[in-house]
């Protein structure tokens, strides 16, 4: 059995204390790498979330318009959109990165680095954004929509002035969920040269056997997730 594993079972408190001391002692050696990786992760997360929300919002509007109970039902268009969204969402992100390498190189000029990772991240996140935004719109009370329609509101007025304000709190909360998912995607992007905390954990923590780098990466990712979710909850309560 691995000595570290044996010590966990023998005395987990002592092992945890030793690990904590080791991790804290390693901060000075890792701090420059940690700050750089954290900034790269934040850049990927917020840039990707922004692009994904824009693309997802457009897809969601089309799905709301053409859906079975939409404002302008079109079964053929809706089936195509629904199929595309489901297909892209079903591809594991690490495989999607590899599939998109040629397109990423053409669009971004490179397949390595934080900037290059934003393209496959956006492609992966946009269908997820479309689905959750569509779900938020579908939660709007149909009675409110029908009442506005009876007063002569156009389709775009129904979407932008009736459905969007009603769905906004749910959309904001779901965007926080999307951002958290992107944090996880960004960590996987690091394994294939995307930078960020995933790259730090893999390159320094795994390849160089420095488990302190892995622990620091996990702690920072946990903190980011908590902050994003807290901000989302706060905005949701304010909008409600």
Would you state the pLDDT for residue 98?
Answer: 86
Q: Is the residue at 166 inside a domain?
A: yes
Q: Is the residue at 14 inside a domain?
A: no
If one counts every other C-beta atom within 10 angstroms of the C-beta of residue 16, the result is 11
Nearest one of 86, 139, 123 to 78, comparing CA atoms: 86
Q: Is the residue at 186 inside a domain?
A: yes
What is the number of structural domains in the chain?
A: 1
Distance CA 182, CA 49 (A): 7
* First CA to last CA distance, the chain: 54
| pLDDT tens for each residue of 168-181 | 999 999 999 999 99
* Residues spanned by the domain of 76: 33-239
Q: Is the residue at 53 inside a domain?
A: yes
| pLDDT tens for each residue of 129-157 | 999 999 999 888 888 888 888 887 788 88
Q: Is the residue at 92 inside a domain?
A: yes
Say whether pLDDT at 39 is over 90.
yes
Q: Is the residue at 16 inside a domain?
A: no
3-state secondary structure of 201: helix
What is the SS3 string spanning 209-239?
Answer: CCHHHHHHHHHHHHHHHHHHHHHHHHHHHHH
For 193, left (φ over 0), alpha (ψ -120 to 50), or beta? left
Would you state the pLDDT for residue 83?
Answer: 92
Would you state the pLDDT for residue 101?
Answer: 85
Q: Is the residue at 3 inside a domain?
A: no
| pLDDT tens for each residue of 83-119 | 999 998 888 888 888 888 888 888 888 778 888 889 9
CATH of the domain at 120: 1.10.3720.10
| pLDDT tens for each residue of 42-68 | 999 999 999 999 999 999 999 988 988
Q: For the chain, what is the mean pLDDT?
A: 84
Would you state the pLDDT for residue 239?
Answer: 86
Q: Is the residue at 19 inside a domain?
A: no
């Amino acid at each position: 059995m691995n000595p570290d594993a044996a010590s966990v079972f023998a005395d987990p408190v002592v092992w945890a204390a030793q690990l904590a001391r080791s991790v804290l002692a390693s901060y000075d050696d890792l701090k420059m790498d940690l700050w750089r990786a954290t900034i790269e992760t934040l850049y990927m997360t917020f840039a990707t979330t922004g692009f994904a929300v824009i693309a997802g919002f457009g897809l969601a509007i089309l799905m709301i318009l053409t859906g079975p109970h939409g404002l302008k039902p079109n079964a053929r268009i809706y089936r195509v959109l629904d199929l595309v969204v489901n297909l892209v969402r079903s591809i594991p992100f690490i495989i999607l990165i590899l599939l998109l390498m040629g397109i990423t190189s053409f669009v971004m000029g490179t397949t390595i680095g934080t900037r290059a990772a934003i393209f496959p991240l956006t492609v992966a996140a946009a269908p997820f954004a479309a689905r959750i935004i569509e779900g938020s719109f579908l939660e709007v009370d149909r009675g409110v929509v029908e009442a506005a329609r009876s007063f002569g509101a156009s389709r775009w007025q129904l979407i932008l002035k009736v459905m969007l304000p009603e769905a906004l709190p749910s959309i904001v909360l779901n965007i926080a969920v999307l951002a958290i998912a992107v944090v996880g995607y960004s960590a996987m992007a690091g394994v294939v040269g995307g930078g960020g905390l995933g790259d730090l954990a893999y390159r320094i923590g795994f390849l160089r056997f420095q488990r302190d780098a892995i622990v620091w990466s996990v702690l920072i990712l946990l903190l980011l997730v908590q902050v994003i979710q807290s901000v989302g909850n706060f905005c949701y309560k304010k909008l409600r």
